[in-house]
Amino acid sequence: MKKLFAIMTVASMLFGCCQKDTCTTDEKQDQPNISNSMIKKITESLISKHGKNVEDRITRGVKHVASLWRTSDGNEIEFEIFCAEKFIANQKELNIFFEKVSRNIEILNGHFNKISLDLQRPLHEPMGNIFTIDEMFGGYSAGSHLIEDMYRNKLAFYIALNFPYYNLKDKEKLGKSWTRQEWAFARLGDMFTARIPSELLQKASEIGSASEMYIARYNIHMGHLTNSSGDQFFPEEMVLLSHWNLRDEIKANYSKAEKGLDKQAMIYEVMKRIIAQTIPQRVINSDAYEWDPYTNLVYQNGQTIESSPEPDERYQQILNNFHAMKAMDAYSPLNTAIRRAFEGGMEITQPDAEKLFKKFLSSKELEKVGELISQRLGRDLKPWDIWYDGFKARSSINEESLNAITQSRYPDAAALKKDLPRMLMTLGFTPEKANYLAEKIDVDAARGSGHAWGASMRGEKAHLRTRIPESGMNYKGYNIAVHEFGHNVEQTTSLYDVDYYMLNGVPNTAFTEALAFIFQKRDLELLGISDKNPQKEALQILDNFWSTYEIMGVSLLDQRMWKWMYANPNATAAELKVAVDTIAKEIWNEYYAPVFGIKDEPILAIYSHMVNSPIYLSNYAFGHLIQFQVEQYLQSTDFAKEVERIYRLGTLTPNTWMKEAVGEEISIDSIIKKTGKAVKIVKKG
């Protein structure tokens, strides 16, 4: 988690608490009430009293607090008195104030995080059937009123006055010369950036929780899929969560020749049914029926039965999140959820991200890699080959063999927990550091595909969650677990080992995804399976390049979908469904059809993140780029030692972090250049 209040963004004098047509009567009466003339008067008075050395802090602080002050907080005279009494000019006193605020924010942040973790356990862990009361408590946000309370008791103003907000442009410009303490001061200044009503935060939490549950329950019983010939390709007990497990099953079948191709084709039919919402409602999370995804017929006891399609619920969930987040627009100068996600959360602008993604997706190297994959497969590319897994060492290993290893080694969560120190030592961490990290991470069985939940207070533990069936952890679950373990190592290092609590975390979630990807690529190494292929490095480069290709298209779809919703705020779920299908095919035709030789494929729209993780997918795309640059750097260094160093950097801006971590800003140039060389190496081999 990047900051305590990541959902909140910058406010300014130009933006009131609400816009003209969206205010309630109470909101209209509770408007910003500090005039520019009063701001100027207070600023000049404080500078005259305390001196030019604190002029910038005074100027920024007074202006920012004025943008947050409302009629309910007091009149202009009361505001003037507050600023005169609460501004701290003395650096020693300011340092003490900062330390006390940091300590208390950690206490609040940590305990609210723990409350959410514990309330949502019945939703995230296999603790029996989920009841309505579980969902209601799971959607409850104990901290949703905290910011509102801190404005009411004026703590928010006290902090904002002395630790003013710096926008992204300011941080990029000024941060180059900041000390670590000054960076920490700036991150404290990010806490109070907009006054979003607690009821909107609570509503967003409830809707987000509902979307999580919708996806967590979206299981397909693969053993009940059939075709017109009556073939059933999957084991009776196989249950796959959409989209993660479906995608991973496609990946797992690249080593199974024609039989694997049949399985992949059937999974793709399932995916298209989900995207189009023509999937029969009866077959979702149910083993009571047989289903032919090609004809869309449903059978019970050998007889065809009627079954209505899912009623566009997938797209309704997206709209629910959109409306919850759009309701906050009126309270932020970053006046769309898109801007808040990119400029506020990722600290990269959406236009810059889109420009970078389009440049990558237009790379000539893509066609070269596509041709290489087609040659290796011995056939033309299929749409699902965006998930081609043949560059990995495991692609030549029978998955049943891998399942046997992981199920034997990890029969339950306790076994994985016990093995964490050894896994870290295998990666080069000292026994002391391995035990230090492992003791701060708990392992839980997951109801869904799995995730990592970091601690937010020293003394608490991070949580690694992955699916563990009664037969033990299969390879897919293990592979996900290693990915989540990478998150946990980052979460723990950037919390416990950072020099200032306000710098805990990473610039954005792409940076934690980078370390998770780096860990995940070493999953076989952690099982004691070595890869002695002389083309290993070239294959790893190609694997990263192709994965980046896949996720950038999905990310571009996510961005354009949100732009479409803003352009059509009153759209229905059915209209959104059509729009997503259209956008997905447009992106496919522009950036994928030239490589695949197939047009009008909707596959980019299958990602569950679009439903339950709004505007998140671009973090994965950046994560792949950052992973590549970080991994290239780590090849010539002490892996464990440098992982510790770079993840202690904390929440600098992305490009500043990259410069300090690996010596260069985020770029696609190196991955494209090295991919061209990798293609030649693999073709020669």
Per-residue burial over 206-243, b if 16 or more Cβ lie within 10 Å, else e, is bbbbbbbbbbbebbbbbbbbbbeeeeebbeeebbbbbb
Q: Find the range with the poorest average confidence among 117-121, 285-289, 447-451, 548-552.
A: 447-451
pLDDT at residue 643 greater than cutoff 50: yes
- What is the C-alpha radius of gyration for the chain, rounded to an integer number of angstroms? 26
51: helix, strand or coil: coil
Q: Say if residue 585's pLDDT is above 60.
A: yes
pTM over 0.85: no
**pLDDT of 235-251, one tens digit each?**
999 999 999 999 999 99
Asked if the model's pLDDT at residue 61 lies above 60, the reply is yes
Work out the average pLDDT over 202-206.
91
Q: Can you give the pLDDT at residue 394?
A: 64
Confidence at 29, pLDDT banded by 50, 70, 90: low
Task: Give the per-residue pLDDT at 332.
Answer: 83
Please write the tens of the pLDDT for every residue from 247-283: 999 999 998 877 899 999 999 999 999 999 999 999 9
In this prediction, residues 557-569 reach a mean pLDDT of 98
Average pLDDT rounded to a whole number, residues 212-227 = 95
pLDDT tens figures, 375-415: 999 999 999 999 999 998 666 677 889 999 999 999 999 99
Q: How far is Cα 255 from Cα 262, in angstroms, rounded to an integer?
A: 12
pLDDT averaged over every residue in the chain: 91
The lowest-confidence range among 166-175, 320-329, 590-599 is 166-175
pLDDT at 133 over 50: yes
Q: Say whether 514 sits in a helix, a strand or coil.
A: helix
DSSP string, 264-331: HHHHHHHHHHHHHT-SBGGGBT--SSEEETTTTEEEETTEEE--PBP-SHHHHHHHHHHHHHHTTGGG
Name residue 265's amino acid: A
* Ramachandran quadrant class, 376 (left: phi over 0; alpha: psi -120 to 50; beta: rest): alpha
Q: Which residue has the higher pLDDT, 3 or 260?
A: 260
Q: Residue 505, by phi and psi: left (phi above 0), alpha (psi -120 to 50) or beta?
A: left
Average pLDDT over residues 38-51: 97
